[in-house]
Amino acid sequence: MTRLLHLDSSARPGSSDTARHGSHTRRLTARFVARWREREPDAHIVYRDVGAQPPSPVDGHWVHAAFTPPAQREPWMHEALAQSDALVDELLAADVIVAGVPMYNFGMPAQFKAYIDNIVRVGRTFGFDRSRAGEPYWPLLAEMNKRLVILSSRGDFGYGPGQRIAHLNHVEGGVATAFGYIGITDVASVAIEYDEFADDRLHASIVSAEADVDALVARMAASTAAKAA
């Protein structure tokens, strides 16, 4: 049984296929999960909407608590890390993380950055030992075979690799870098473009992205089934 962690981070409520001003990324993540369920009805899905209910930003108390050895933490430190612990537990339990991450001003939404800041945790998702020769940091999730899917959207066009404004796209790279740091390096992505144009190009981009999502699910589900056989 595959365990999917379904994350949405758009500030827009609803999906663009059911609401006039709905979210394109919510549309894509919902489609991904629906297509996966068609292939694996008993897949376990955990849903978290960090767009509607963003995690608390990391503050000084959080940092103090996170870098205090667990056995030495005071009660307030456990409370400061409770939300982060819940997010990390969800991540650790997942085989596939499907994240809806729209582009806001060339990068990820603040809500999703807050999520990343809460899951990149010393002692839980990455290790640190200043006495280690060479590299004092190491990923703790590297051998867990987790896969990340980034489903994005942007108002302009040409943000893909090698395209006209690829250098302005800090979404997929920013997300993949953080997840790679903790050991999740199997990453796939699909995006909708032309949102601000709201014309036939947007429609074509949606159709193309939905087809790409369907194909991605087919490949990933087949690979999962083959490994389980």
Cβ proximity of 161 and 124 under 8 Å = no
Nearest CA to 51 out of 122, 148, 153 is that of: 153
**Longest CA span, the chain:** 59
**Binding site annotation covers 103?**
yes
- Which are the contacts of 119, defined by CB distance < 8 A and separation ≥ 6? 84, 87, 88, 91, 125, 182
> Does 220 belong to an annotated binding site?
no
The answer to whether 175 touches 116, Cβ cutoff 8 Å, is yes
Evaluate whether 36 touches 4 at the Cβ level (below 8 Å): yes
Annotated binding residue at 104?
yes
Helical axes 110-119 vs 172-181, angle rounded to 10°: 10
Say which residue the tokens 């193309």 belong to.
208
Residue 105 known to bind ligand: yes
User: Which positions make up the binding site for FMN?
Assistant: 10, 103-106
* Annotated binding-site ranges: 10, 103-106
